[in-house]
Amino acid sequence: MLIFAAILGIFVYGMIAAMLGTILPDLSDRFKLTPSQNGTIAFAQAVGLMIASLGVGPLLDTQGDKVGIILGLVFIVAALIGLPRSRGYASIVLLLFLLGLGGGIVVTGANALVSGVSEAHRGTALNLVNLFFGLGGLATPFISANLFNRNWARLCYSVAVLTVIAIGVQAVAPMPAPVGGSGSLFTQVGPILGRPLLYLLGFFLFLYISCEVGVWNWLVRHLVAQGVPESRALNILSLGFALGLLTGRVVISQVLRTVPAVEVTLGASIAMAITTFLMLRTNKAGTAWVLVFIAGVAMAPVFPTTLAITGSAFPQMTGTAIGFVIACGWCGLAVSSRIIGAIAGGDPRRLQKALLLIPASAVLMLVLNVAIWGALK
């Protein structure tokens, strides 16, 4: 029941992670939004994610995971119900900020929960549970394109209903007691914040989220600008990128039984740099699907495996450490989206140049991974 609760929370988060990229073309048409405004909307979501991940860690460690996860799901429901009723740019920014708050709480709480109950096989467990993030990310654009005929209001309400069900599951699931140590919160957090490894892991996830969310939020618009029909572009996002994430986490969960986590993230960084560069160089839908799928496979292990490294390195106040590292990741979402939107300006055709930020970030990940490897020895 506990693992099912974590899986359902991660699945809901996967669906809302793909939400902005799925509905952004229709929102842009309806409210005449520019790429720069699109970047600001994504930035608002990132700020919500950052605030939530930083703030919820101590709550999880002192009050338990149940309280945090339910709070995050309530925020998600409120945002999803409000989005179809939004009246313009300002209200969309506010609602995406709220969606970010909810998402940040849920993803931090669910991953801290799994990290705590699967210590012996932390990397494998986190990759398997986060497999459902990929499944949720696949479901959102696929349902929008093939079942709801791009009716984004219906999509929001449907995901809201699923989230309400998830709240019920969290409420009845038995969860372990808080893992915080003895003493005041400040005396427990101090030693964690004094370790350079925490900042290396945070910066690594900062770069990775810049890459992954850059694909979620901008790939459809980029492909449309290259002449790919929107429905086909949505399917490339769902049956290409999201399916790649899904497949990659199934495979890597077995690899992590024998290969050290830091070696897995090193190989993933190399593969990301190559595949994301190539996927931006084609305007053919079939080739794009293959490259996007491989890029998804390459990215699949990075997020959960980085959290596994964090959980192993910080056995006390684990929620706080994981929350800090995840919050650094959301900084990547905020910064990359603003830069991509600014470079693209008012011309969607300039997105190809702007999105080169993704392979460039992957190259920096490769360098940083070596530093993490050294810090762990």
Instruction: Please write the tens of the pLDDT for every residue from 184-233.
Output: 445 556 667 778 899 999 999 999 998 988 887 788 888 888 888 888 88
Residue 84: per-residue pLDDT? 87
Which domains does the chain carry?
A: 2-172+185-376 (1.20.1250.20)
Of the two residues 3 and 299, the one the predictor is more confident about is: 299
Distance CA 85, CA 211 (A): 31
- With CA atoms as reference, report the closest residue to 145 among 14, 81, 42, 237: 237
pTM of the complete model:
0.75
Residue 182: per-residue pLDDT? 47
Residue 178: per-residue pLDDT? 64
- Give the mean pLDDT of the chain: 84
**128 — pLDDT class (breaks 50, 70, 90):** confident
Residue 184: per-residue pLDDT? 44
Place of tokens 């709801």: 148
Of the two residues 177 and 202, the one the predictor is more confident about is: 202
Interhelix angle 302-313/261-279, nearest 10 degrees:
150
Contact of 35 with 337, CB cutoff 8 Å: no
* DSSP state letter for 183: S
Of the two residues 109 and 199, the one the predictor is more confident about is: 199
Instruction: Please write the tens of the pLDDT for every residue from 20-71.
Output: 878 887 888 888 888 778 878 888 888 898 888 887 777 777 777 788 889 9
76-85, 145-154, 197-206: the lowest-pLDDT one: 145-154
- With CA atoms as reference, report the closest residue to 159 among 11, 3, 6: 11
Residue 183: per-residue pLDDT? 46
